[in-house]
Structure 1
């Protein structure tokens, strides 16, 4: 049964899915076959190539009589003359574009219409010209290429062609308008062919155009016609429609390089497309990604919109997610996101990068590469155009010296294509950068890449999911990947892939199955895990943070973990402009609670709370200084002193109130922990055993509930007081 979709508006969405008659396409292919047959009679070397493929050919000897007889037998001996696959495909597309305009074929042969044909990609320009000259125009009319001469005589009835692929600097809207005027006066058919007519054909030609055509994409029925033109028969089966949408005309000569059966042609094409569009089958979809947060939500919404757009039930103008800038450090999976987005949306992915654009020898090559990337995405629309390393396009305000003119043209070319959203319906642009601050502000303006989402390094839970993905669904299933994630804390998804790949290699060379120890070895790279006593101390430390954090009601506990370099408690809380002195002191109490817990358990505290500018003591001291000097809540009264890194030394009398406040708040934390020590012990024990506790598990333990079922065994002097 034919599945049709409603059509909402011209140029705004996909055309309805209907079966084309293809009468004109069949006629074009028949004309091309005739041209090939004529060429075969006069081209002995070509006839020899046909013979090598298994067909009978004219006699190739010296006997003139035999040569005469052989020439007469060509039409009878050769049952089918193959047409070049790429030329046949363009013939089908040109025929369909003409047939979609009622009466246009007759006008091209009888009248003087002005026609503009968009090929989307430069590679189709010359084949489209050849098809029009061979099949669409009357053979008794003279065709003149108006792009090549300014002084030619254009007579009435002549056919004028403007053929521009965008490669020349003269392929602009302001060049050639005088020639258009003379051609229009002569009243002959006038046709312009270009990948992007609005930017490459003369302005007056566009203004005078009676018909604006665009090459459609090749569907299964059109592919069947192409295969029939190549091998003489139609296939009995088709290709996955989503896979077929990734087809480039250039793929056809590669797939059909030998003359084989129709169904074998389908297999060959499917193989070529599967290798090129592996993102449709290999790799995760958006729903399987870990740690992408807002980017994943954006992508899922876009995928749903693109599905509706493909059916014609949603207009392009109604889709709001049409441009995204992904930022984040290397290795967090920006490229993987683009592949997963294309897979979930079931649309082609066109990948490029600024490095690819700049690999051209001259400025013209760079500009052409930018145009070609957008043109290819338009030809495959709906599609995802992924631009990597977009920070390679410099901010024009920072460019100096001899490179100003070069980079200004590059930036302007990119901006022109990004801004032309209505000129590229169905094309969603996703760009990636490690340095969003280096990008020209105009690139991020509304209507271009106006949505930026930062992808951060994954947390422990996300890393565990990434480890499970790369380990596979059939490897080490009995083991939780969380210990690996904790050991790899601070790593990226790319790091995880490398850890697992190298571990597999080590196991393969040892002729055995991979183990978790193999992965640990790759993660640690000689780094030793925490020894038992240190691990116990750190578990007590993090448990102290958790208990005081819950008691002060600062926020929601996300998780607590131990790793090779220490431990961490993640608490989701925000201190903003409406914070009060009690709330600020609660933050200090939380920061000092870990060391106080160590003192209660071991009789002394470790120096780990004082390492680095982000350590517990540094955070607590900074807030205490701000209370005195900047928030107007301390012993100095309502005063604000600009922040410096040496306040404690420069401001007379500051150390005493800061130290006093820290000591008082620490004592408050001690009272809380002493009262709730049973909770500290059970959380520390569970954390020491597992290495990781989610916030819900910590909450359950505080309530005296074993998160895995049953009642938690509380230890300590105050067993009965479990509530907060």
Structure 2
């Protein structure tokens, strides 16, 4: 027979009472456990909380006014670092033969497998909620506070909050004191001194993402002050980009800019908790923790690891579907996760379930790009403090083409290491020593590049394929970087307006103008126009395929749903007639570009000379060249 004891409410300690509210709610999930039914529960303490802090609360509910040795209950604490034989010995002595057992552990890893596998359930302890704090203040301190005041108070570190709340002290006074406590970011990610100390407004290279983040900081401030509702605040952002581009650094800088806390997590961290039930519990606990800290930023790294439900195979399909569904529930939540902004990071945005990106969840997507030359110099100066001279700046820009923020940080570390070895301040020479050697673009190679870029320039200018912004031939290239641009002709496309078939054909002709010029002047063209999806030939092929298979501007009125280059290629391979029509469009526009250049040989040659000598040509310079060539051509002048 099980002896029933009266549950005891703790009233001497605010901390104990608050923890009793939390743990009692958890133990009620186990059917009949608090009423005397046998069971074995393991509780995993909040990160940073001593598991022994929960002991008085749990003991009060299990033992009541009875003594532990006379009851049929066992409560045990396991801390990180304890030896497993000692843990097992203590468990056998205090708990193993008891009807009701509660083990409180620092984390799952410190629990011996013999204990972990014999438990009925393992539950992650959530943080103290505003409702828990409100009840504890009322009972222990005899202070009445509102739910909103409790929520505001819980933004402060727990240990400081406990010391600030005192009997008879008005809650407004408590909140006023807590506002002076500096914000501390919470993150599982490795900490970088520079990244952790800078706000977003101080960062370089984030473009539209930085603009979004600064606006979010303003909106969160207005929301906290009651000037706007939560419905007017962006609730989610998907950041995509290559590895090392700084997605996690962005989230830390954003949290500092907004003056809020940061929670960093991922599916991998949740999976490390154990089986499916543990994973889902860890996920929900993190979202609950974020809501208790609101306003806060929650970074979910490697978002594509959740997968797309439409691509799941029979193997593990049920498991993966439940994980995605649980994520959607957490992103929705009944209160709209008020105060929690979710930033998701990924290298592969196409692998994310579309439902995750639905309006109201993570509905804004910004693709981060590798930093341009000026931004790379600014990042180097920010990380290392090295002032780069005007003489060396162009070379360092070229030497760092294709480098991410992480690559630049590594270069700066290497430069500082060289300076430390010689016991002197770091300078730009230390940086240059560690960079790859450049190859100068000169001689016949430079002329070849100028012919190619002049072809793009002249064809695009004649067809009005966009607003001409300028053409450049680089002085240096980095041999270590594959598929590197040696020059470029830039045309800005119109943002709006009706685009007929001819508009797209003009773009294709402009893209093929480079190799058309090479064949016209040199008798053949090189492989520089191909190589990847972003090359001249790659973009032209995609445009021609879209005309015929998606935009309804080809021989057939047909729409094909495609999302990436692989889909386009698969479509051409499956439909042989489509591939033939695409080839026909490309060949016709190639010949058209050659015809334009043939009629404009004199102007093309003049553009080539300017690019060879000066390395660049702007809109005004091209217009002047055109006028000067017309003066030398009596027919065109007339």
State the TM-score bracket (shorter-chain normalisation). 0.5 to 0.7
Shift of 1:466: 3.8
Q: 1:596 and 1:412, CA in 2 relative to 1: closer, same or farther beyond 3 A?
A: closer
Among candidates 204, 223, 232, match of residue 289 of structure 1: 204
Deviations 1:444-470 (A, max 9, x none): 333322333332444455545444544
Question: What SS does the aligned partner of 1:378 have?
Answer: helix
CA displacement, residues 390-449 of structure 1 (integer Å, 9 cap, x when unaligned) = 222244455556745544544444333221162643111111122333334443333322
> In structure 1, what is the Cα distance between the partners aligned to 2:449 and 2:310?
50
Which of 278, 283, 290 pairs up with 1:370?
A: 283
1:244 is aligned to: 182
Closer/same/farther in 2, CA of residues 534 and 170 from structure 1, 3 Å limit: same
Aligned equivalent of 2:619: 699
Indicate the residue corresponding to 1:573 in structure 2: 493
Q: For residues 82-114 of structure 1, what are the alpha-carbon distances to aligned partners after superposition, in whole Å with 9 as ceiling and x for unaligned?
A: xxxxx777789999xxxxxxxxxxxxxxxxxxx
Any gaps of 5 or more consecutive residues in structure 1?
A: 1-28, 33-86, 96-119, 151-162, 173-191, 199-209, 230-237, 249-271, 688-692, 705-713
Residues in 2 aligned to 1:170 and 1:647: alpha-carbon distance in whole angstroms: 56
Aligned equivalent of 1:226, options 157, 163, 182: 163
- Residue 484 in structure 1 maps to residue 412 in structure 2: no
Question: Which residue of the partner structure matches residue 590 of structure 2?
Answer: 662
Please say if residues 676 and 721 of structure 1, whose CA atoms lie closer than 8 Å, have aligned partners that are also in contact: no
Partner of 1:204: none
Find the aligned partners of 2:462 and 2:620 in 1 and give their Cα distance. 14
Q: Confirm or deny: 8 A CA contact 1:280 1:342 kept in the other structure.
A: no
| Partner Cα distance (2:552, 2:231) in 1 | 52
State the shift of 1:520 in Å: 5.3
Q: Is the 8 A contact 1:395 1:441 kept in 2?
A: yes
- Structure having the higher Rg: 1
1:556 aligns with 2:467: yes
- Alpha-carbon displacement from aligned partner over 1:129-160 (angstroms, at most 9, x marks no partner): 958999xx9xxx97999xx999xxxxxxxxxx
Cα RMSD (Å) of the superposition? Answer: 5.8
By how many angstroms is 1:304 displaced? Answer: 0.7
Aligned counterparts of 1:638 and 1:364: Cα–Cα separation in 2: 52
Check if 1:545 corresponds to 2:456: yes
CA distance in 2 between partners of 1:223 and 1:169 (Å)? 35
1:470–1:500 contact (8 Å) kept in structure 2:
yes
The whole-number CA distance in structure 2 between the counterparts of 1:531 and 1:506 is 32
Q: Following TM superposition, by how much is the alpha carbon of 1:281 offset from its aligned partner in structure 2, in angstroms?
A: 5.9
TM-score by length of 1: 0.55
Matched, 1:590 2:510: yes
TM norm structure 2: 0.61
Which of 258, 269, 286 is 1:356 aligned to? 269
- Counterpart CA distance in 2 for 1:338 and 1:489 is 25
Residues 519/350 of structure 1: CA separation in 2 closer, same or farther (3 Å cut): same
Confirm or deny: 8 A CA contact 2:541 2:582 kept in the other structure. no
Q: Is the 8 A contact 2:515 2:529 kept in 1?
A: no
Task: Evaluate the alpha carbon distance shift between residue 331 and residue 628 of structure 1 in structure 2; reply closer, same or farther with a 3 A threshold.
Answer: closer
Q: Distance in 1 between matches of 2:277 and 2:581?
A: 67
Change (3 A) 1:287 1:542: farther
Stretches of structure 2 lacking an aligned partner (at least 5 in a row): 1-9, 22-44, 74-101, 109-118, 133-143, 167-175, 479-483, 561-570
What pairs with 1:516-531 in structure 2 (closer than 5 Å)? 519=431, 522-524=434-436, 528-531=439-442
CA distance in 2, matches of 1:169, 1:373: 23
Alignment partner, residue 53 of structure 1:
none
Superposed CA deviations along residues 630-680 of structure 1, whole A, max 9, x for unmatched, are 99999xx98999974699999999999976763453131233352365454
Report the Cα distance in structure 1 between the residues aligned to 2:404 and 2:579, rounded to whole angstroms: 43
- Aligned ranges for residues 162-311 of structure 1 at < 5 Å? 195=129, 214=150, 216-217=153-154, 223=160, 226=163, 241=179, 244-246=182-184, 282-286=197-201, 288-293=203-208, 295-311=209-225
| Distance in 1 between residues matched to 2:497 and 2:312, nearest whole Å | 39
Shift of 1:386: 0.8
Kept after mapping to 2: 8 A contact 1:589/1:669 = no
Match of 1:13 in 2: none
Distance 1:318 1:354 in 2: 29
Distance in 2 separating the partners of 1:403 and 1:647:
34
Residue of structure 2 equivalent to 1:612: 531
Shift of 1:366: 2.5
* Residue 338 (structure 1) shift: 0.7
How many residues of Structure 1 are paired with residues of Structure 2 in the alignment?
A: 512
Aligned equivalents of 2:57 and 2:603: distance in 1? 88
Q: How far did residue 567 of structure 1 move?
A: 2.6
CA displacement 1:491-527 (0-9 Å, x = unmatched): 3222232233334434544666666565456453x67
Shift of 1:331: 2.0
Q: Paired residue for 2:613?
A: 685
* Alpha-carbon distance between aligned partners in 1 of 2:253 and 2:270, rounded to the nearest angstrom: 24
Is the 8 Å Cα contact of residues 682 and 715 (structure 1) preserved in structure 2?
A: no
CA pair 659-450 structure 1, distance change in 2 beyond 3 A: closer
